[in-house]
Amino acid sequence: MYAKIQPVPAFGGPATVLVIDNVVVSPSSSATLWWHLRTEPTGSDIVQTAALTLTGEAYAAWGTDDEYLYTYTAQQLGLTIVEIVPDAPAIIAPPLPDMSAPEVAS
């Protein structure tokens, strides 16, 4: 998951993507996340990075909705989210054919 943002000037080019990773939770009290501003969703094009801690009401509001992490982080950084892009769905391969030896009639 990542968020497309309105471009903001940054060293290395205008940042257009907000990525969050490495969320560390202290049960029932807080969570620290690492955010990155990028020019593209993947690759090594990080133009700015830092950590942000959720405590109190912000931590309680998170629940299980990871989109909240993006909206909260964007608010704290003064960014405008254009679109939140979910992770690609898992590709489920079809079942493999039965390759066991055929039974021999007796």
Per residue in 49-71, pLDDT (tens digit) is: 899 999 999 999 998 889 999 99
For residue 103, being part of any structural domain is answered with no
28 — pLDDT class (breaks 50, 70, 90): confident
For residue 97, being part of any structural domain is answered with no
Give me the number of domains the chain comprises. 1
Helix (H) or strand (E) holding 74: helix 66-77
**Model pLDDT, residue 84:** 95
For residue 63, being part of any structural domain is answered with yes
38 — pLDDT class (breaks 50, 70, 90): very high
For residue 12, being part of any structural domain is answered with yes
For residue 104, being part of any structural domain is answered with no
Q: Determine the structural domain holding residue 64 and report its residue range.
A: 2-83
